[in-house]
Amino acid sequence: MSNDIFVITEHMDGKFSDVSFEMVGKAKELAAALGGQAVAVVLGGGVDVNGFASDSTIQVDDPALAQFNPEACGKVIEALAREKSPRLVLFGWTATGMDLAAWLSARLGQPCVAYVKGVSLDGGGLTVSSQVYGGKMVAEVAPQGDMAILAVLAGSFPVEAGQGSTAASQIASPVPLDGLKVKFVEAIKPAAGDVDITAQAKLVSIGRGIGGKENVELAEELAQALGGTVSASRPVVDAGWLPRTRQVGKSGLKVKPKLYLMLGISGAPEHLEGMKSAELIIAINTDKKAPIFNVAHYGATADLFEVAEAMLELL
């Protein structure tokens, strides 16, 4: 068993997710305290792997890893973990991490902590802070054993700490990846033609709290009065109230407007990953314990319809 920390990075369309850099930065801090190394693990090719501040970077290149395949990725990560025996294996608590973290935990018989917001070492002991009840409470967890698997929420650590220029070593898959039961078929992307929310300076973003499609018009009026555009969280898009081109988040688009005004969005980690870099974040939600208030610069625990109508009157 080593004191190394493995970071399972994520990339799409040639770009790494911010949470990958966040985890690498934290891993380097923890590994230095443990006397080990922070190791960035990149699965698949077609991406510049030399941009991490890790102590080392391993790229596993195989045709079966060209597109995300949870079965192929899981087998590779399990083989690496069994061979190298790292102290920690870090995943992002994303669609990818949800597929892989608990699976790896079951395969290795090692503890797994999800919704991780913080990790610290005290006298060699590991303490993990994990969000529970949708972020309304934080549990302090001390995983037992020689290895732990952590699934980290996006936005938990600084992105810059994980950015650098470490050269990568490329290896073949440590296990055969033929005969997989899961096969990648197609990546479906939003159709072109709608407004580009990534280029907007002001966004009024609506969540499940908007109630129904008939109330979207109110948000559109407010966005127009502000000189902005309406965007949305995934539940709104899944319900068909707005097209997928308006979705902000891990499975949607990443935005960085000057103003991000949220109506009825609780602040799921997947949504935060897409908008946490906005210059000014304002949240309206009736639930005072909604996790969105942990990242908002300003907020109101109020009825979103009353606030929107009052803003329209003032504007």
Express each pLDDT in 20-45 by its tens digit: 999 999 999 999 999 999 999 999 98
CATH 3.40.50.150 for the 197-314 domain, yes or no:
no
Q: Which of 33-42, 129-138, 141-150, 235-244 has the lowest mean pLDDT?
A: 129-138
- At 192 the pLDDT is 62
- At 311 the pLDDT is 95
Residue 211 has pLDDT above 90, yes or no: yes
- At 1 the pLDDT is 73
The band of 191, judged by pLDDT with boundaries at 50, 70 and 90, is: low
The three-class DSSP label of residue 40 is strand
Q: Which residue has the higher pLDDT, 250 or 279?
A: 279
Share the mean pLDDT of the chain: 92
Residue 141 has pLDDT above 80, yes or no: yes
Query: Domain 5-171 belongs to what topology?
Result: Rossmann fold (3.40.50)
Domain map of the chain by residue range?
Answer: 5-171, 197-314
**The tokens of 312 are what?**
């329209």
- At 30 the pLDDT is 95
Predicted TM-score (pTM) of this structure? 0.78
Using only C-alpha atoms, the chain has a radius of gyration, in whole angstroms, of: 21
Please indicate whether the domains covering 5-171 and 197-314 agree at the CATH topology level. Answer: yes
Residue 87 has pLDDT above 70, yes or no: yes
Residue 203 has pLDDT above 80, yes or no: yes
**Residues 24 and 9: beta-carbon distance below 8 Å:** yes
**The tokens of 264 are what?**
């009825």
**Cβ-based neighbour number of residue 244 at 10 Å:** 18
**Cβ-based neighbour number of residue 178 at 10 Å:** 6
